[in-house]
Structure 1
């Protein structure tokens, strides 16, 4: 995959997360149970993003499971996700062609050994987040709230309006 595509995908991920957090902040207080489920799911995405960030960077991993025992407040999670999204955007902006194919060995939180290229890790982070944002969308639909249109094609046309020109 080209580095420019990876860069575009991580800009999209940050945009999609921002759109979803914006909507969640407007849920009425009588939807606390559903909001909690949404935050738990988004926290899982965040924790997995951080775990794979540690694999990519060689930093110590702060997590020993794919979610935390306690559920963060929505606004705190949003801040943490924004910081992590910015890290990934910067990471792929500085990634070289040769480095993206480098294989890294690591240990999954369940103790199993893993080995993936940097590119494979990055694609996992993108697809994993998209999958679980879809789970949040289903929770929102169950309470008659339309989720954001989390589409890569929409992001491309919003971020580059000239694509709409003939």
Structure 2
């Protein structure tokens, strides 16, 4: 059973929460953002770039294109400002997709199954809704990890919790566009 309103809410939450964490991280000096750390993706920027790369992979799947990525991380570290700009654009892309699919035949477009090959090999199939949920969950996991990496710097950063979004952001979005709840 699909829930178009939930997909619209969760893609907006992801875009907002990623923006919060990108703004929090941007308070650090640039060298700290790319400093090598004992982490799977090498740095704070590398972790954000991994989230972006997974979004790129699933965008290719959803658009029926062959995936050009062969791993879940890039070979070379990219600049934080480039990753931040591209991640924000990717989030806008998924917000627009959720809106489009929610409007198509009362959300039935979210039920369409997408078949693909995983980067690590093997066949995959997920509905559009499952892909969106995966991306939301995946980004949340990595934002938590970035929070751990930022903690030693004692930054005065904004919280990115779903509860904060639901309290402070979502009501304003719904006032502006009541159709978000449909």
- Per the normalisation by structure 2, the TM-score is 0.81
Q: Once the two structures are superposed, what CA deviation does each residue of 1:12-53 show, in whole Å capped at 9, x if it has no partner? A: 111111111111111135735268611111111100011111
Separation (CA, whole Å) in 1 of partners of 2:83 and 2:31: 20
1:90, distance to aligned residue in structure 2 (A): 0.5
C-alpha deviation, 1:63, in angstroms: 1.6
Corresponding residue number in structure 1 for 2:111:
101
Give the TM-score, by structure 1 length.
0.88
| Aligned twin of 1:80 | 86
Aligned-residue CA RMSD (Å): 2.2
Matched ranges for 1:47-62 at <5 A: 47-62=53-68
The aligned runs of 1:17-166 (5 Å cut-off) are: 17-28=18-29, 31-32=32-33, 33=35, 37-95=43-101, 96=104, 97-145=107-155, 148-159=158-169, 160=171
CA distance in 2, matches of 1:74, 1:8: 27
SS in 2 for 1:115: strand
SS at match of 2:116: strand
Q: Is the 8 A contact 1:51 1:63 kept in 2?
A: yes
Q: Is residue 2:8 matched to residue 1:7? A: yes
CA–CA distance in 2 between the matches of 1:116 and 1:149?
31
Q: How many residues align?
A: 163
**What is the distance in 1 between the residues matched to 2:24 and 2:36?**
13
Give the whole-Å Cα distance in 2 for the aligned partners of 1:124 and 1:98.
18
